[in-house]
Structure 1
């Protein structure tokens, strides 16, 4: 269950997809032209997600949220890097995530 302060449906859908390891739901939560960055570097979203989330059993546990969940601090873990405190910022366009920026907090 996502953090109660994550009330933006698009962000909730994306977090739930990540935590379920559901590639299809992840893609459905994004706009077709969605972009992202990791620690300030632009990344190719779907190859990044495959490596950092899906093939590494990634999981987001929200610690705090503001702006309806579009700004998060979370404990992120995957099999590659272990657990780390991260920040996430989501841009939502027409009910889907069009961009997210993540990195160590």
Structure 2
């Protein structure tokens, strides 16, 4: 069973996931704090390059399986046209109502 995006607990994470799933780059950028950072499988990545490659040009999509930590820690089935589908973990840091950092990797 999946959790509908509109039911995610943390508003900033909800905006992030909704923008990602809609492939809406403008809304995605608006969900991020200025200077936001990220890592993938423990390695720091350039957020702009990574999101273009893994989300926007490859039609990334998240189906949320669970959330904890007040909605800052998600397990999701993530899929894109490059890699197919995989179970992933997403951890978010929210500052000022925006995502300041996210860490993702295989779950």
Matches within 5 A, 1:54-65: 54-65=56-67
Q: Which residue of 2 aligns with 1:97?
A: 99
1:17 pairs with 2:23: no
Q: Which of residues 67, 70, 93 in structure 2 aligns to 1:68?
A: 70
Shift of 1:3: 6.5
- Structure 2, unaligned stretches of length 5 or more? none
Q: Which residue of 2 aligns with 1:27?
A: 29
Shift of 1:10: 0.4
Deviations 1:69-89 (A, max 9, x none): 210100000000000000000
Other structure's SS at 2:5 match = coil
Supply the RMSD in Å over aligned alpha carbons: 0.9
| TM-score, normalisation: structure 2 | 0.94
Aligned residues: 104
| TM-score, normalisation: structure 1 | 0.96
Cα distance in 2 for partners of 1:85, 1:68 equals 20
- Structure 1, unaligned stretches of length 5 or more? none
